[in-house]
Amino acid sequence: METTLRGVGVSHGVAIGEVRHMGTAVLEPPAKQIPAEEAEREQGRARQAVEAVAADLIARGNLAGGEAQHVLEAQAMMAQDPELMADVERRIAVGSTAERGVYDAFAAYRALLANAGEYLAGRVADLDDVRNRIVARLLGVPMPGVPDSDEPYVLIARDLAPADTALLDPALVLGFVTEEGGPTSHSAILARALGVPAVVALPGAGELAEGTVIAVDGSTGEIFVEPSVEKRAEMESAAAARKAALSASSGPGTTSDGHKVPLLANVGGPGDVPAAVEAGAEGVGLFRTEFLFLDDSKQAPSEEKQVAAYRAVLEAFPEGRVVVRVLDAGADKPLDFLTPADEPNPALGVRGLRSLLDHPDVLRTQLTALSKAAQGLPVHLEVMAPMVADRADAKAFADACREAGLQAKFGAMVEIPSAALRARSILREVEFLSLGTNDLAQYTFAADRQVGAVSRLQDPWQPALLDLVALSAEAARAEGKSCGVCGEAASDPLLACVLTGLGVTSLSMGAASIPYVRATLAKYTLAQCERAASAARAADSAEEARVAAQGVLSGE
């Protein structure tokens, strides 16, 4: 009999197929003691396994490219963490086997992160995956991961590690469902980049029996177990209609009455550019520059290396707008040369612009590299600072841009509630705002964006978050300046209409979402979007806001 489950839809599309479960995690290795004379050999085995796993993660990243590459490179750095390795060797020195030493050292680090309640607790799934891969190699057993199958299927997992998500084959993996994760988790972001329908934060997903047929709606978050013939036909028909609408949609983003809403792409480096161009992106609304700095956590990349990488992206959008976010280090992206190693809560400490202002040479080099990369190109370069808290932050960044001789617009990201509340003050120092709704939700609701248990508070439909968006957009309008959204909220077609109604002037998202947003915006007038926005803000919950907006736009 057909039953319905509901999680959090994070990647558009419909998938109908049989359930296949992610391979089981590595079993806990036995806690046997080894003679002292074997310690050196076991330490060598541990080091070799760590290096092999790190190399494998980097190779997977090179194959995947784009956002996935940056995530996997960060995981490789996690595997090679010198403090972790020192702990492994200490445990082996007092009698542990290599595999047990790795297992216990990672367990201790995992507990430290989880119990401290740090932002880095959101990377526990990544840490577990690294541990499992190292232990599997030491035990000589198959790596945990995506099941082997000759037939397409829907993948079910407790959570998906980046190494698994990055190389999913869309021809075989029709979609995936996870018990953990949130709308801005690594798995969700990579699913959207792949264009694979996905639902996360679905309790009990692991109880779905192998081979069960399910239908996954990545837009609504609904899972239909053993769907009826009628339900399958209904979903397939809706998917076909959506595909036809996408094919017919092209050109700049605009409402049905001609109000322009530029649709831009979020990119992590040159590898993401082809997909953005193919999707018809009108430029780049968020160019994350961290990928260059994560290559080597010990030192910043040279000015020459930065110039080459930035120019490769700028050249792809002649006459287009490219918004570059300067290095956003700290929290889940620690860099040895930049971020403190002993912060009790990195998410609330020295991260983003704060780190750069503490290291003005790193900021100056990056701004100079951006200036040189744009020379002679007809691109409209804009540069923005992450984690701006107030006018003083905005002024410090604008002053640094001017001192570096940067010929570009200077902007501020709105990721901290104080920036939204005092947006007009900040706009006295900079020329535009860009709303990072992922972090803005996290800080507004005190809800870690990687923790599935608080996923309802990470929902960008939360009326309180919409209020902050409206405050920012109203401030920008009053100052005659622009206010875009570059967080994951922009990738939801219905929410894109609401954001437009709130006064947002551009929307930036993963390339795979652009056709969906373009086609949906083209159905409605600006006045309809404004009414939908008002209805959403009048609601008391994210679900009520979504239903209210949908009701207005559907004429109910």
Q: Which of 12, 70, 186, 359 is catalytic?
A: 186
How far is Cα 500 from Cα 536, in angstroms, rounded to an integer?
A: 13
Q: Which of 477, 459, 476 is nearest to 542 (CA)?
A: 459
Burial class (CB in 10 A: 0-12, 13-18, 19+), 239: middle
Q: Return the ∠ at Cα 189 (arms to 183 and 194), rounded to 5°.
A: 130
Q: Is 186 a catalytic residue?
A: yes
Q: 529, 536 in Cβ contact below 8 A?
A: no
Q: How far is CA 140 from CA 137, 143, 227, in A?
A: 5, 9, 41
The DSSP letter of residue 32 is -
State the pairing for strand pair 482-485/506-509.
parallel
Q: Which of 483, 486, 497, 529 is catalytic?
A: 486
Q: 495, 530 in Cβ contact below 8 A?
A: no
Taken in order 399, 402, 406, 412, is the CA torsion positive or negative?
A: positive
Place of tokens 């194959």: 63
Q: Which helix H or strand E contains 263, and what residues bound it? A: strand 263-267
C-beta atoms surrounding 116 within 10 Å: 12
Q: How far is CA 464 from CA 71, 387, 472, 538, in A?
A: 30, 19, 13, 10
In angstroms and rounded to an integer, the radius of gyration of the C-alpha atoms of the chain is 24
Q: 364, 404 in Cβ contact below 8 A?
A: yes
Rounded to 10 degrees, the C-alpha dihedral 397/399/402/406 comes to -10
Residues classed as catalytic: 186, 486
